[in-house]
Structure 1
Amino acid sequence: MNMHCPTPASPAFNLLDEPWIPVLYADGRSSAVGLREVFAEAGRIVAIAEPSPPSLVAIHRLLLAILHRAVTQQFGRWNDRDRAVWYDDGLPQAAVEHYLEQWRENFWLLGGERPFMQVPALAQAEETLDKFKPWTQIALGRACGNTPVVFDHMLDDSAPAITAADAARTMLGFLQFTPGGLVKVFRSADNAGPLANTAAIMPVGNSLARTLVLSLHPAPETPDSDRPAWECSPPTVAELTGMAKPSTGPCDRYTRLSRSILLKPEPVDSGLHVRHLRFGAGLALLEDVNAPDPMAAFRGGSSGPVRMTFADGRPLWRDLAALLPELAGPNSKPAAAVAWAADLQEIRGDWDSDVPVLVAGLRSDQAKLVRWRVEHVHLPVAGLCKADVAAVIADQLKRADDFYQRLRLTAISMLAAALPDSKSKETRARARSILETSAFPATFFAAAERGLGLLLKAVGEGDTERARDDWTATLRNAAATAWPVARALLGHSAAALRAEALAHPKYQQALASIADALPDTADNQPTEEARS
């Protein structure tokens, strides 16, 4: 696609003033605001009202980078006690306003010498001078090239123009969540964005101001050692073709130009829009296992820590223990943002309230979007700050997993018994596949999730006996809800009725056992062969 168009001499759409961030106010109003207003109204804004999970997380990370740089320049080595003051009394508006005005010229989105979070060198580079792509190139949920999305049959040549506000939000989300893979401009392939295949975790307050303070990362040892993209010189082509580099800190990660983009403004009756852009490899991020992303959590895996993501439909709450800082072990790492929130509440001495946690992101497979999701979990403050409380939560979640595995093996044995040659490994494998691709797993855990709030509330209040009793009742109800799904897979043959009759006592034994401590040693765990 050739449509040479030099960069406009005059910049347009300054993100400080133009309304581009959708927000929801405490009185129920919704509106769009610019960066100056979003900070000025942060105490009255309840939440960012962005429907796209990647853009939702990216906007928060942008605001965190701005706030962090503003207070660092104003106060130097601030600490958690300063955060407690900002949490209770409001953000230091004067510091934020001064910072935004200081960097105003670097927040123009369209045109100018250095458009925001973009690479002006693309307008002169031979590889991109006359080569444009549709804006859907940076829209993770839209069809583009050979990555079609269900229900989106738009062609690259017919992409409609979008507003500058939409382009800004889309670009931010893409830069954070873009998967690694082929780029073919400046280099054949490029590394993934900071949050690719990640369920990003962020504590949430009852206002945007408190949300930002909860996740605000600590002041660096050297004030200017970690700077966001707009404080740095725009990348050159030589830098885009260079080696991957680790981040200098959260501000760098939150604004990393993981791909090089240059939006092409297009005048429309209602103002400037974007239909096309220049595109290429970016400043590749080299991951450091010792400095993971502050919003990423890792659960224990058989061969080491496994980054939490929205994989295979697994409910996030099953890995809730990985969110609790006090349970950190060699094979699990909670998100640093949650630990920072726990430190703040500990300084404030607030042990009675819950900390809502927003978990949002997407999972991709070879540059193709598989799913994206937003979840909310309320964690008791005591569970974040006290090891004994966190251990109670982890134990009860383990009870759920152990009980489900016992129920699952019983159901597999029942299905295998109804099939020809029921004793063979192939038959059992077939029975396992039938069960695991059915609605049985989702039904059980969906029913169990309904009691999660009661469990966390009781644990947070220190009533472990009530927590256990309520959770026991929840798991029994989940089993009673899911078991008919497994029975329905049998059919109505004589073999099916016989298999159901043989499995029923084992099902009743599983229900009775949930009231007691379930075995958690390898010697006491029945094998699938024994269950058969």
Structure 2
Amino acid sequence: MKKIEFNLLTEPWIRVRLRDNTVREVSLTEALVSAQDYVDLAGEMPTQNAAVLRLLLAVLFTVFSRVDAKGEPRPLMQSDDALERWSALWQLGHFPAEPVRDYLEQWKDRFWLFHPTHPFWQVPQAKIGTEYGAAKLNGEMSESSNKLRLFPLYAGQSKDQLSYPQAARWLLCVNGYDDTSAKPKGKGLPSVGAGWLGKIGFIQAQGDNLYETLMLNLTLLRDGRECWGESKPCWELEAPKSAERTEICCPDNPAQLLTLQSRRLLLHRTGENVDGFCLLGGDFFPLDFLQPVFSFQR
């Protein structure tokens, strides 16, 4: 079994709906540079689509907070800069491929679903966490090992195993919407609580295609008045956080908030399929800091 496998920038895993209503799996890169060709995301559930949309937005916030539509390095310094950049992207009718590809290529090594030190959206140290089977990872069932579904949507091997593309999609969803069944491993730690998206709910602006939907949610100004700080998504950290239930400061930029690691996760695979995962509680910030981020999140 390969230690490094399935790069999300080149392998097809994001489900999109075409104009003829067919569904196709595409890579993360393709989902962004060809977003104008897709009507919408077409994951197994709306919650999964929300989690994937946030990943796509995190990339866009990061790229276009640093470079303009031509790929020239120009940090957003004032509100007029943000408005001009958004307008330039909207007038193009698509996301410029070169700056998106250049940025993702720079961080390609952080987008391996399986990697010995920094697997995407996971941490190796989570192996000490609560163990679950594939049926719990699959959000269409979310079946625990001690409470079986009477009428599950999957049966047999498809219930006990997930393909790599499936696992990648549900990995994002579990991080955002996980329940409170896991228990802290360390002493004196607070409950893991629900995932971040499960706490706040989710509202998005909807366009006529995926590009428009992403643009309408690409709010380059905080509260429509001032620029955000430089975006810093989770994959740009020197090393993925591993400590269980870590209190952090409220994120001050959208990419960090969009990639908040509510859970420490680690997928387990057998052969060419994922058959389970381990989970610990992840990052959180105090409830009295929730209100300032609602205007962006909703």
**TM-score of the aligned structures, taking structure 2 as reference length:** 0.82
Determine helix, strand or coil for the equivalent of 2:274. Answer: strand
Q: Cα–Cα, structure 1 residues 23 and 209, in superposed 2: closer, same or farther, change >3 Å?
A: same
Q: Confirm or deny that 1:17 pairs with 2:20.
A: no
2:82 alignment partner in structure 1? 79
* Residues in 1 aligned to 2:149 and 2:295: alpha-carbon distance in whole angstroms: 30
1:195 to 180, 194, 197: 197
User: Which amino acid letter does the alignment assign opposite residue 113 of structure 1?
Assistant: T
Q: Cα–Cα, structure 1 residues 39 and 197, in superposed 2: closer, same or farther, change >3 Å?
A: same
User: Which amino acid letter does the alignment assign opposite residue 51 of structure 1?
Assistant: E
Q: Cα–Cα, structure 1 residues 148 and 295, in superposed 2: closer, same or farther, change >3 Å?
A: farther
* Residues in 2 aligned to 1:232 and 1:294: alpha-carbon distance in whole angstroms: 26
Once the two structures are superposed, what CA deviation does each residue of 1:77-134 show, in whole Å capped at 9, x if it has no partner?
Answer: 14123212212312122211111101100000023320001012235xxx35xx7431
Determine helix, strand or coil for the equivalent of 2:36. Answer: coil
1:91 to 87, 95, 103: 95
* Percent of residue pairs bearing the same amino acid type: 25
Which of the two has higher C-alpha Rg? 1
Q: Cα–Cα, structure 1 residues 230 and 147, in superposed 2: closer, same or farther, change >3 Å?
A: farther
Once the two structures are superposed, what CA deviation does each residue of 1:289-319 show, in whole Å capped at 9, x if it has no partner?
Answer: 43234565xxxxxxxxxxxxxxxxxxxxxxx
Deviation at 1:171, TM superposition (A): 1.1
Once the two structures are superposed, what CA deviation does each residue of 1:328-348 show, in whole Å capped at 9, x if it has no partner?
Answer: xxxxxxx3xxxxxxxxxxxxx
Deviation at 1:182, TM superposition (A): 4.4
Q: Confirm or deny that 1:185 pairs with 2:177.
A: no
1:134 alignment partner in structure 2? 133
Bigger relative contact order (CA 8 A; separation at least 6): 2
* Residues in 2 aligned to 1:150 and 1:195: alpha-carbon distance in whole angstroms: 27
Q: Cα–Cα, structure 1 residues 148 and 197, in superposed 2: closer, same or farther, change >3 Å?
A: farther
- Aligned 1:87-126 pairs, distance under 5 A: 87-89=90-92, 90-123=94-127
Determine helix, strand or coil for the equivalent of 1:203. Answer: coil
2:233 to 204, 207, 228: 228
* Residues in 2 aligned to 1:32 and 1:153: alpha-carbon distance in whole angstroms: 21
1:263 alignment partner in structure 2? 267
Decide whether the 8 Å contact of 1:9 with 1:112 is kept in 2: no
Decide whether the 8 Å contact of 2:18 with 2:38 is kept in 1: yes
Once the two structures are superposed, what CA deviation does each residue of 1:480-517 show, in whole Å capped at 9, x if it has no partner?
Answer: xxxxxxxxxxxxxxxxxxxxxxxxxxxxxxxxxxxxxx
Decide whether the 8 Å contact of 2:17 with 2:41 is kept in 1: yes
Give the alignment's Cα RMSD to 1 decimal.
2.8
1:56 to 46, 49, 58: 49
User: Which amino acid letter does the alignment assign opposite residue 233 of structure 1?
Assistant: E
1:318 alignment partner in structure 2? none
Q: Confirm or deny that 1:210 pairs with 2:217.
A: no
Once the two structures are superposed, what CA deviation does each residue of 1:219-249 show, in whole Å capped at 9, x if it has no partner?
Answer: 64432xx411111134444x32443542333
User: Which amino acid letter does the alignment assign opposite residue 185 of structure 1?
Assistant: K
Determine helix, strand or coil for the equivalent of 1:22. Answer: strand
2:71 alignment partner in structure 1? none
- Aligned 1:374-523 pairs, distance under 5 A: none
Q: Cα–Cα, structure 1 residues 236 and 292, in superposed 2: closer, same or farther, change >3 Å?
A: closer
* Residues in 2 aligned to 1:197 and 1:191: alpha-carbon distance in whole angstroms: 9
Decide whether the 8 Å contact of 1:263 with 1:278 is kept in 2: yes
Determine helix, strand or coil for the equivalent of 1:57. Answer: helix
Determine helix, strand or coil for the equivalent of 1:191. Answer: coil
Q: Cα–Cα, structure 1 residues 241 and 38, in superposed 2: closer, same or farther, change >3 Å?
A: closer
1:446 alignment partner in structure 2? none
Q: Cα–Cα, structure 1 residues 153 and 107, in superposed 2: closer, same or farther, change >3 Å?
A: closer
Q: Cα–Cα, structure 1 residues 174 and 40, in superposed 2: closer, same or farther, change >3 Å?
A: same
Deviation at 1:148, TM superposition (A): 4.8
Once the two structures are superposed, what CA deviation does each residue of 1:257-310 show, in whole Å capped at 9, x if it has no partner?
Answer: 11111112221xxxx2100222212123434243234565xxxxxxxxxxxxxx
User: Which amino acid letter does the alignment assign opposite residue 107 of structure 1?
Assistant: F
Gaps of 5+ in 2: 69-74, 222-226
- Aligned 1:140-179 pairs, distance under 5 A: 140=139, 141-146=141-146, 148-149=148-149, 151-152=151-152, 160-179=160-179
Decide whether the 8 Å contact of 2:118 with 2:240 is kept in 1: no
Gaps of 5+ in 1: 1-7, 297-334, 336-532
2:291 alignment partner in structure 1? 290
Decide whether the 8 Å contact of 1:121 with 1:236 is kept in 2: no
Q: Confirm or deny that 1:37 pairs with 2:30.
A: yes
Determine helix, strand or coil for the equivalent of 1:276. Answer: strand
Decide whether the 8 Å contact of 1:142 with 1:148 is kept in 2: no
Decide whether the 8 Å contact of 1:192 with 1:285 is kept in 2: no
* Residues in 1 aligned to 2:147 and 2:185: alpha-carbon distance in whole angstroms: 18
Deviation at 1:181, TM superposition (A): 5.8
Q: Confirm or deny that 1:253 pairs with 2:245.
A: no
* Residues in 2 aligned to 1:236 and 1:195: alpha-carbon distance in whole angstroms: 19
Once the two structures are superposed, what CA deviation does each residue of 1:404-457 show, in whole Å capped at 9, x if it has no partner?
Answer: xxxxxxxxxxxxxxxxxxxxxxxxxxxxxxxxxxxxxxxxxxxxxxxxxxxxxx
Decide whether the 8 Å contact of 1:143 with 1:154 is kept in 2: no
Task: Determine which structure has the larger helix proportion and give its number.
Answer: 1
Deviation at 1:46, TM superposition (A): 1.0
* Residues in 2 aligned to 1:29 and 1:139: alpha-carbon distance in whole angstroms: 22
Decide whether the 8 Å contact of 2:13 with 2:165 is kept in 1: yes
* Residues in 2 aligned to 1:109 and 1:179: alpha-carbon distance in whole angstroms: 23
User: Which amino acid letter does the alignment assign opposite residue 31 of structure 2?
Assistant: V
Q: Cα–Cα, structure 1 residues 137 and 293, in superposed 2: closer, same or farther, change >3 Å?
A: farther
Deviation at 1:13, TM superposition (A): 0.5
Determine helix, strand or coil for the equivalent of 2:203. Answer: strand
Deviation at 1:66, TM superposition (A): 0.4
